[in-house]
Structure formats: structure tokens, C-alpha cells
Amino acid sequence: MTASEIKDVLRAGGVSTAAADQAWSRVQRRLKYHDNVIADGTGQRMTYRWIRQSREPTTAQAMDQLANGQLPAARRRALVEIVRAALTDPAPGVVARLQQKEKDAVRALAELAMEVEELATNEASAKAIIHRVRARTKLAALEPIGGAGEATTFDRRRHESVGRSVTDGSAVVVVRPGYIWKGEVLLARAVVQDRT
């Protein structure tokens, strides 16, 4: 039955049109999630069908019931177990995508290693090697935090000091650069030491 058909039955049973319309939004939600009712469609095309045997709600219905505080405790526990299982046992497609991303990352590292070794074997200058490494890291959306030998001021969010402790704003020299990925993810702090 559609909503209008249900309201017609209510009116035939003596319920006024105004009362049926006013109560419908409350009744509709309960009806939609009743164990013996199957709700199909959306909006004005929604139909409700009574079944003798109760059924388990769909995942979307269970999530709606959970959000609205309508899910019984036993079903709440079952839903928690379903979610927990989904989080600990990802779908095969997810695993395959993660494995491919890992392969891509290792391949990029191997290509960088090959390039550096080739440059070193051909006695390229340190400046040329650093230039090539920076070009490769830029392709991977990596931004360096300083450069080895560069003078800067200490920032504990981006720098890690070696030797004695350094306070924010102190003059330091970069020993080893750090990297930020995609402008926001800090992968490694730059290693610095006090300039004095």
C-alpha cells in the first residue's frame, strides 16, 4: 500500500484527514522499520507491504534505526560486530588497491635509488644529485623542509635538534632535510643543530 492508500483505510475507519496527515510522519518512521513490514521505493512512490515472518533490516535501515535510537539492544550488538568485522577484514578490492599503492611506492624508491647510483657512478656533482632527488620528490608531492647546510630558525613542529636542546626561534643549521607530503602531512622533521 502507498501512504495515501493507508490514509484512506484510516479515514474509512473513522480517523479524520487532519489527524491522519498530522500523525503520518511519526507513524511512517515506525512503519518503515517494523519487523513485519517491507518498505520499497522513495518519497511519494514508497509502498509498504506486510509479511508474516519478521525480517532483519537492511544495513541502511539498521544504521537509521541506530541513529534514531530505535534499534533494540540485541540488534545494536549485532550491528557493532558487523562493523567491527568490516574494519578488521577489508574487502578484497581494498586489499588489492593497498597492495598496488605499496608496489608503486617501492617502485618509485627503486627508480630513485637507480638514478642516484647512476649519477654517483658517472661522478655527477653533489649539487646535480640533490637536484635530481628534489625533482623526483616533487613529483611525489613531497616538499623538503630545508636543505643540508642551510641556516634557519628552529621550529619544534618542523625540526628535530641533535646535541643540546634548542628553543623555538634559535639560529640553527639543517643537518638533514625533512619532508612534508601534499603540503600538510609531516613525514619527517628536518634534523638541525645549534648554529653557535
> What residue spans define the domains of the chain?
3-88, 103-140, 141-196
Per-residue pLDDT of the chain (196 residues; tens, 9 = 90+): 888 888 888 788 888 888 888 877 777 777 776 767 777 777 667 887 877 765 565 656 666 666 666 666 766 677 677 666 656 656 666 667 778 888 888 888 889 899 999 999 999 999 999 999 999 899 889 999 999 999 999 999 999 999 888 999 999 999 999 999 988 899 999 999 998 7
Which amino acid, one-letter code, is at 148? Answer: A
**CATH number of the 141-196 domain:** 2.30.22.10
pTM: 0.48
> Where does 31-131 show beta strands of DSSP type E?
37-40, 47-50
Tell me the C-alpha to C-alpha distance, in Å, between residue 141 and each of 97, 136, 180, 189.
20, 9, 8, 16
